[in-house]
Amino acid sequence: MFGAKAVKVCCGPRCGSHPGHRAIYDALERAVQEADPDLPVAPTMCRSHCGDGVTVVAPGGALHKARDPEEARALAQKLTKTTE
């Protein structure tokens, strides 16, 4: 649906149950949209890289982790710089 040019956030059973998942997702989405309104942020199912935070898949497929909203915002800055 979103193709390769999207930031995908795991919402599978392990990442989705992370205590801060909603706050992480929202922080990442807001930061990405502020930096690049044309870059969608999309929920995705399990990426099989559970543990140590919420899995975030960059455009192009690189895997990242976000453990809290601050880390999600920093990751968004990194991801939007690499997609320009």
Give 12-38 pLDDT, tens digit per residue. Answer: 999 999 899 999 999 999 999 999 999
User: With a threshold of 0.95, does the pTM exceed it?
Assistant: no
pLDDT over threshold 90, residue 39: yes
Q: Which 3-state string (H, E, C) describes 17-67?
A: CCCCHHHHHHHHHHHHHHHCCCCCEEEECCCCCCCCCEEEECCCCCEEEEC
Predicted confidence band of residue 81 (pLDDT cuts 50, 70, 90): confident
pLDDT over threshold 80, residue 64: yes
Q: Are 57 and 7 in contact (CB under 8 A)?
A: yes
Comparison of pLDDT for 3 and 73, the residue scoring more = 73
